[in-house]
Structures are given as C-alpha cells and as structure tokens.
Structure 1
Amino acid sequence: MKKIVFAFLVVLQITGCAGNDQSNESSSKGAKTKDSKKGKANTTNTTTTTAAKAPNAPLDFIKSIPGSVDGCGEFFTYDSLKLKDEKYIFLSDMGDMAMIRIKGKDIVLKKSTRESKQINAISAVEVYYAVGYKVVLRKKEEKEVDRFYEYSGTIQITGKKIKTTIKVRGEGGC
C-alpha cells in the first residue's frame, strides 16, 4: 500500500511541475475574456473556463486523473462550465480519497467518515482533510441514468489563507 501511495505522489509531482506553464497562459487569456464579456462566462471555449473561476476562486483545473479514480469516481467543475469540457476542480474515488489543485499543486485529501453523512436519499455532505486544508462537499443528485449520477452543490474550502465556497456541478458513477 505504501508503494502505491508513493507512486501516486511521484506521478502527481511530475504532472504538477509540467503543468505550471500552461496554467500561466490560461490565466492571462481568461483575464482578457472576462474584461471583454464584463464578467459573463461563455462556456464554449477554453479561454473563458479560467475566467469562470474568477480571481477569488483558488481552485485550478486538475491536469490528469489518477489511476485510482479511473474505474469509479466523482468529478466536479464550476457550475458555470459544462461537464463535457472535462475541466475538473475536484475529484474523488467514491471512497476515502479526493483531490483538488490549488496554485498549481495537487492536494490529496482524505475523507472523514465521522463528519461525512448522507442527509437523505439524494443529498450528502462529505468532509475531507489534508495538511492545512478542510474541504466540505455538499452535493445533491439531480439526475440518475444507469447508476451514473449528475450532481449540483457547493465546495467549501478552509485553510492556508483560504476561506471560500464555490458552486459546482458534477457527475459520478462506475
């Protein structure tokens, strides 16, 4: 198990270093789009996807999906973006691991089973921790087709100089 975790962290470190140049380019494009559209997000091209996350939203798009989430998983993006664009800001393996990306660094989160709870048949609160971060995902099932779900909800992040809540939409299943 330790070898798998170590390999996962090495892959995350490698992909995190390679993606820094691209994130700088997309943020400058996003600022241009936001000014020309007066803050409205147009989800048809990639330059507005970064504009949709706004300067006060600390989450970057996750560059690659880890193998542990390949079979079953949940994937969330900003509520102003389309899920088919696959620009995810939060993902989980539907177990006790999740991941976000802040300032170009992938943050691996561990689910707190004590604090997480199913509110009713379609709503849940999931609480995750990493060193210096607490992430609360509140999600509601909007649609189910063949054990594949679409969600709406919020992600609340508290931690190192960050305290924000972001509206999200997501999908999940096996």
Structure 2
Amino acid sequence: MGRTPQIERVDAPQAATLGDAGQDIRERSLQGLDLLQQTATGQAPSVAQQRFQQNINRALAAQTAAANTAGTPLAARQAQIQGQQLMQDAAAEAGILEQQEQLAAQQAFLGAAGQLRGQDIQRAQAEAGLQQQATLAGADIAQQRALQQAQMEQRQGITGAELEQQARMQNAQMIAQRQQAADELTRQG
C-alpha cells in the first residue's frame, strides 16, 4: 500500500569554506617573515653594514686629506692615528647597530609569526564553524525531506484507503441494486 520513508544523506555544501580569500595577503606576510628571519640571523642586507662602509669611506677620505695637507711626518702620523681611531669607532658602532638591528628583527619576527599563526587559527576556526553550520543545515534538509516524504506517503495511504472504501461501497450498492432487481423479477414472474 505505501512505501516506507527514505532518509537521504545530504552532504554539507562544499562552499562552506572561506576559500582563497586573503591568501595573497598571507603570501606577502610570509615573504615579510622570511625577510625578518634573514635580518634576525644576519643574512639580509644590513643598514648597520652600509653605515659602517660609509663611515670607513669618510675616515679614509679624512685621513688622506689630513696626510696631504700635513707638512711634517708627525702631522702625517697623527692623521694616520686619527684615521685608525675613526675606523675603530665606526667598526664598534656598526657592531652595536647590527646587534640592535638583529634583536629588533628577532622581536618583530616573533611578533609577526605569532600574529600569522593566530590568523591561521582564527581562519581554521571560522572554516570549522562554517562546515558545522553547513552540516547542520544538511541534516535539517534531510530531516525535512524525510518528514515530507512520510507525510506524502501517509496522505497516499489515506487516499488509497478512502478509494478502497468507496469501491467497496459502490460494489455493495451494485450488489444491492442487482439483488433488488432480481427480487423484482421474481415477484413479477
């Protein structure tokens, strides 16, 4: 008479992800992290080294100028000593600046890496939430379909039973009419 309700599995929609939104920004962030890491480990071009080279060039130029203008060997020797002192000072300053530069890069690297990791975790949580919502929506759809199918089958069952009852009543009426006609014929005949 009726079929049993069929519950269909409804998979969560595949669109329940964040997709590639922000992937370009993430790639640039990773490139920035690479540069910070190189700076933190002393592998990137250093501003301190550039400044050191500029100071060396200035010291050599000053030493050469002083030696050329000095008229006595003692003045030339003093210019040489001053030049060496300027180079030592420049080297010491460059070393300090390079250490500060690396320390700042290490701190920036750790902060940026932590932020990027936090963003990755937030993205994963958001995608998990979307997936859960999609799964729940899919389950709701499956439940609604099963309920609709059961209601439809119930209506079909009621309609089928009503039709069967009407057919029986019509058969009974036809039998009663035939019987009545047969009775009339016997009375007349």
TM-score, reference length from structure 1 = 0.24
- Bigger strand fraction: 1
Q: Who wins on radius of gyration, i.e. which is larger?
A: 2
- Bigger relative CO (Cα 8 Å, ≥ 6 apart): 2
- Higher helix proportion: 2
